[in-house]
Amino acid sequence: MGATTQAFLIANYFVGYGFNVCYIEANKNDSIKNLKNFYPIILGEESKKITYNKIDIFYNSSFEDFPKILTMDYEVFIFDYGEFLHTSEESFASADFRIVVSGAKAWEEEYIHNVFKIYHIYNDINFIFSFVDEDDREFITENMEDLKVYFSDYAPNIFKSANEKIYDEIFKDYITFNEIKG
């Protein structure tokens, strides 16, 4: 719940630091191309690519598309694998940063349990919870024990800045300069 929103918010975060960023829809949803119905996007010459808000967006990308995209002139590649159950362990393992996004409702608990089945392999997973009431945050944090747990701000617009404190913490070893965002 909210993986695509977080992926775009992270893309905006890096664009704010002046990085050349691309978002890659690496799931079978094929829903990103619908951005054209809501935003004045720029259609790229390359197939399955749109540009908006200084972010190149590759929609409906498949594993076969990745080598070509990865040779392009980007400093940050953000892969949106969608629902965790549909993410291959190879893709998850190859990520420089692992972020799992979830809700915290009773019916969403099963999704987090799927992550814990492989968590013992990856102790660097960052968990971002969306739409969690302030009263429930302490309970969730305690039940997640010593894991890296964050709670997303309310961020309905995927092309505006949000969660900067969260991303500052997650990427603190990646962004090692103190430039003014522009």
Query: Is 15 a domain residue?
Result: yes
Q: Which residues of the chain have pLDDT under 70?
A: 1, 43-47, 85-89, 114, 117-121, 176-182
Give CA–CA dist 108/130, Å, rounded.
11
Model pLDDT, residue 143: 86
Model pLDDT, residue 37: 84
Model pLDDT, residue 73: 95
CATH code of the domain in which 64 resides: 3.40.50.300
Instruction: Give DSSP secondary structure letters for 84-97.
Output: GGGS-HHHHHH-SS
Model pLDDT, residue 29: 80
Model pLDDT, residue 119: 63
How many domains is the chain partitioned into structurally?
1
Model pLDDT, residue 180: 47
Helices (H) and strands (E) in the chain — how many of each? 6, 8
Q: Distance between the two ends of the chain, CA-based, in angstroms?
A: 30
Give CA–CA dist 156/159, Å, rounded.
9
For residue 101, give both structure tokens. 């996004």
Identify the domain containing residue 111 by its residue range.
Answer: 3-170
Model pLDDT, residue 30: 79
Query: Is 81 a domain residue?
Result: yes
Query: Is 162 a domain residue?
Result: yes
